[in-house]
Amino acid sequence: MIPTGKIVDWLGRMFKPPKAGLYDVTNYRSGTIEEKAALDAFALFSVVHLISGLLSGCEFRVYRDGKETHGAEWAALNVKPNLNQNAAAWKREMIARLLLSGESLCVELSDGQRILAESFNRTEDALRGDIFSDIQRADVTVSRQFRSADVFYLQSPVNARAAWLQQIMMQYERLMASAAKRFQKAGGEKGILKVSAVAQGKTNFEEQFKKLQTEYFRNYFESANAVLPLFDGYDYTPQSSGGSSGTYTNDLTSVKTLADEAISRAAQVFGVPPSYMRGDAAGIKDSQAAMMTNCIKPLAEMISQELTGKLYTTHDIMQGGRIVVDTGSILHHDLLSDSAGIDKLIGTGWTINEVRKALGAHELDDPDADVRFITKNYGTIAEALEGGEGNADTDKLENGV
């Protein structure tokens, strides 16, 4: 005998109006789409990666008494600054920290290693020089304090630029989120599920309906080829989302356009031509020249002055001592295309070894490679008034004898 209470419940479910509404199965699918796109980080790190990579390949040339040297100082700056980093990685991190946080600190330990600080405290002292303390690298904290004269400290107004960039990126994030939602809506699976009154009247209706959402529909939507089993009284009809291949293409294009625009703005903040970041072939030489003038060379000059001021005394600098960040290796040189210019350089006083070094080739161990040549087309006004024949020494240099 069936209990009266259960009969009443069954009749109630049987003649109860069907439930209408939307059943969202998104939470039962493989994952959720993050709404906020990190365009600011993507654009910022893309530009910083480019700039730091270019400068990391530059040689730090060391001069003493006006002559270039390749001693211990040169090795520390260009080969192995510390036990855990080579020079390229050290330079890249130094530039990246400068661009990302607006400052970069390098200290020399008692054993001669030069390490970059991951965190530190700076106390300003206009009279005796700033004090740097609590310098930390990985799990090591340097106990001593350093004066500004004892460290390499680079600082730039990048924080102001980064704040301005952040405001721009907030606008792009909202636009990106809107585009992503449109794309998700166009590419999602939608349909209408009709549930008959008979099906709703069954005692296990809630259990079956939950199982249909959490298991059957999820597997059906995620599988490339699948069959959707339905209980008696259920009728599912797929609905067109209103999208087409053209709609998908337009949404993807809008997302790509927003990302490209974000990177372009970030590039402009750091003085890099947007066309250079995009890799446009048209006008590449002009883009390279603008990047060198507005971005690379100012940073190289900042580093050169900081290293020179900390490694040399005023007397040493007056005698020709300095550190120069050579940016000549950044641009690629085609020997055949540059042959006319190379000939011109050698004919105006550049040695063969100087030209080879500027082109990135090794220097020759030959005394003749360090001889300076000059053509008769160049000379003083006095020599021109005397007939422009030059003197014996000039002829000797020109003929290479």
Reported as a single tens digit per residue, the pLDDT across 31-51 is 333 333 456 667 888 889 999
Greater confidence (186 vs 281) lies with 281
Q: Mean of the per-residue pLDDT values for the chain? A: 76
Q: Alpha carbon of 297 to those of 53, 285, 291: distances in Å?
A: 14, 16, 9
Helix, strand, coil percentages in the chain from 3-state DSSP, rounded to 5: 50, 15, 35
Name the 3-class secondary structure at 382: helix
- In the chain, what is the straight-line distance between the N-terminal and C-terminal CA atoms, in Å? 125
Q: Which two tokens stand for residue 311?
A: 């490694």
pLDDT band at 374 (very low <50, low <70, confident <90, very high): confident
Q: What is the pLDDT of residues 166-222, one digit of tens each?
A: 666 666 666 666 666 666 555 556 666 677 766 666 777 777 777 777 777 777 766
Mean pLDDT score, 2-24: 44
Task: Please tell me the predicted confidence (pLDDT) of residue 223.
Answer: 66
What per-residue confidence (pLDDT) applies to 303?
Answer: 96
Buried b (16+ CB within 10 A) or exposed e, 249-263: ebbeebbeebbebbb
pLDDT band at 401, cuts 50/70/90?
very low
All structural domains of the chain with their residue ranges? 4-32+189-240, 33-102+156-175+243-332, 334-399
Q: Is the pLDDT of residue 151 over 70?
A: yes
Residue 281 DSSP code: S
Higher pLDDT, 34 or 276: 276
The mean-pLDDT minimum among 97-106, 124-133, 244-253, 390-399 falls in 390-399
Percentage of the chain lying above the pLDDT 90 cut: 32
The closest of 155, 180, 131, 179 to 33, measured between CA atoms, is: 180
Give the whole-angstrom CA distance, residue 215 versus residue 221: 10
Phi, psi of 3 (to 5 degrees): -60, 140
Please give the pLDDT value at position 349.
Answer: 81
Q: What is the pLDDT of residue 37?
A: 45
pLDDT at 75 (0 to 100): 95
Share of the chain above pLDDT 70, in %: 63
Longest CA–CA separation in the chain, Å: 135
pLDDT at 22 over 70: no
Q: Which of 117-131, 232-246, 336-350, 381-395 has the lowest mean pLDDT?
A: 381-395
Burial letters for 304-329: b for 16+ Cβ neighbours within 10 Å, e otherwise? bebbbebbbeeeeeeeebbbbbebee
Is residue 159 scored above 70 in pLDDT? Answer: no
Among 105-114, 232-241, 272-281, the least confident range: 232-241
Angstrom distance (rounded) from CA 281 to CA 279 = 6
Residue 249 — very low, low, confident or very high, per pLDDT cuts 50/70/90?
low
Band of the pLDDT at 281, cuts 50, 70, 90? confident
The pLDDT assigned to 176 comes to 67
Q: Are 169 and 39 contacting, i.e. CB atoms less than 8 angstroms apart?
A: yes
User: Is 309 a residue whose pLDDT tops 80?
Assistant: yes
Residue 400 in tokens: 């290479």
Position 6 confidence tier, pLDDT thresholds 50, 70, 90: very low
Specify the pLDDT at position 84.
94
Strand, coil or helix: 189: coil
The contacts found for 360-365 with CB under 8 angstroms, 24 or more apart, are: 360/329, 360/333
The DSSP symbol for 363 reads P
The more confidently predicted of residues 38 and 308 is 308
Least confident range of 25-29, 47-51, 235-239, 251-255: 25-29
- DSSP-derived secondary structure for 338-352: THHHHHHHHHBT--H
Residues in the chain: 401
The secondary structure of 92-161 as a DSSP string is HHHHHHHHHHSEEEEEE-TTS-EEE-SEEEEE--TTT--EEEEEEETTEEE-S-EEGGGEEEEE-THHHH
